[in-house]
Structures are given as structure tokens and as C-alpha cells.
Structure 1
């Protein structure tokens, strides 16, 4: 547990509470996420993910990664934006089929690792989206 200089306990960050980003046309971007990725929009115009739902699907593997990258890294390419959004999915093949049906192609070959399967697409604002199916 972190401590202050006075020796008392301090608060700590316990997770990512949201990801917020600017868009040329927020309505069109929201509609793309609904149509292509099957997300359900909330009344406030965004999307919510339940930690309970991801824990049910992934067990103890349910987590959010928060990691800085070297500014010269090419991991976010072909996007020119300095960040990427990773979305956890329960069935990567089904999500990729939906993407393909909507005319959205993968931007690099899918990969499998001991901690999950990954695929990458671009959203309409040229943000790279990493789709991650954790191994539960």
C-alpha cells in the first residue's frame, strides 16, 4: 500500500474508469462501433463494459492493461495517433467475421500468445483497435 511522507495511507488508482477521445463526427463513430463491433450504446452516448461480465468470461484473466510505449515504437501503426484502444472480446473469430461482413479488414495478421489471441482493425477515425480474446 502506498504511504505519504507523513506515514499515513494514501489513495491509489484501482483501474481505468474510461477512455474518451475526440472524433470528427462522434455520431458516425458511435454508429460504427455499434454496427461493426456490436457494442450497445448507453443513454449518454458512450459504451459501458461490466467488470463482472469480463470476469465471468475470463475468470482471473480479466484485467485492464495500462502501459506507456516509446514514442518511436511502431506498434500503433498504421495509425498515426499516439495511442491504440484494446477491446476484450469473448469470441475473436465471430467478431472478425462481423468486421469482415461490414467491410472492415484486419490491418495485420492475427497472433496467438499464451495470454490470448489478438487481431487489429482501424476505426473510421484511423484509430488502431486491438481485439483481444484472453485465455481464461
Structure 2
């Protein structure tokens, strides 16, 4: 079973999300959308669009709970249910809550430093 197949997103916690979004937009040219982030589309070595994207977002961090970290990485996975079962069997702290939507399936595990790690199985074809 493939476990992590790539990075699906980077989420940054800020006490002042609007200020930080503006800084990234102004100084690094990131096209921050009204929802608080952007989606970077993947391209191949020739610069041609390919299936997949990476989300980048700044928010107040409520989504990171119970972690106190200032970031959360979202990892693309091949088979969320099998991976969560394997992580539980390996003694990892897997959160019971999972989500499924048009954006895919989501689950979470806490790493040994207490960081919440998001696992994402994208919809078919993405």
C-alpha cells in the first residue's frame, strides 16, 4: 500500500491572518483568494498542466486543534481507510473523526511532537 504520495496542502496559523495574507500577496506574489489561500496547480517538467494541486492557506488555526503548532501539512494518500487502520495497528494516535466530501476523504493523526497531520485521499482523477 502506498502511504503518502505527495503534499496536498500547507496551512499556516496566524494571530492576524489578514495581515499575513497581505504580506505574502504583496511580497511573494501569492494570489491569495477571498477564502484565505490559493491553489497551486501542478505542471510536468515541460510546464504542461498535470492532475493535482497543492493548497496553501492562512487561518486562525482553529482547524489545527488539538495541536498547538503554527502549521499543519496535508499529505496526499492512496487509500485513507487502509492507512488509518495501519497507523492504529502501529500504535499511532489517530483521531476518530474523518470527513468525506466532493474534495475527497480526510483523516488525521498526531505525530510524536503533538502536531496534527492531515491525510487526504483526493477524489478519483485528481
- Shorter-chain TM band: 0.5 to 0.7
Note if contact 2:104-2:121 (Cα within 8 Å) is conserved in structure 1. yes
TM-score, normalised by the number of residues in structure 2: 0.57
Which protein shows a greater Rg? 1
Asked if 2 retains the 8 angstrom alpha-carbon contact of 1:78 and 1:107, the reply is no
1:105 CA drift (Å): 3.4
The root-mean-square deviation of aligned C-alpha atoms, in Å, is: 2.6
Instruction: Give 1:131's aligned residue.
Output: 119
Q: Deviations over 1:76-125 (max 9, x none)?
A: 01001111111100100111111011112322410001010000110011
Q: Pick 1 or 2: higher relative contact order, CA cutoff 8 A, min separation 6.
A: 2
The 4+ residue runs of structure 1 with deviation greater than 6 A are: none
> Partners of 1:105 and 1:81 in 2: how far apart?
16
Stretches of structure 1 that go unaligned for 5 or more consecutive residues are 1-11, 14-50, 53-58
Select the residue among 100, 103, 115 that pairs with 1:115: 103
Contact 2:93 2:111 in 1 (8 A): no
CA distance in 1, matches of 2:114, 2:59: 19
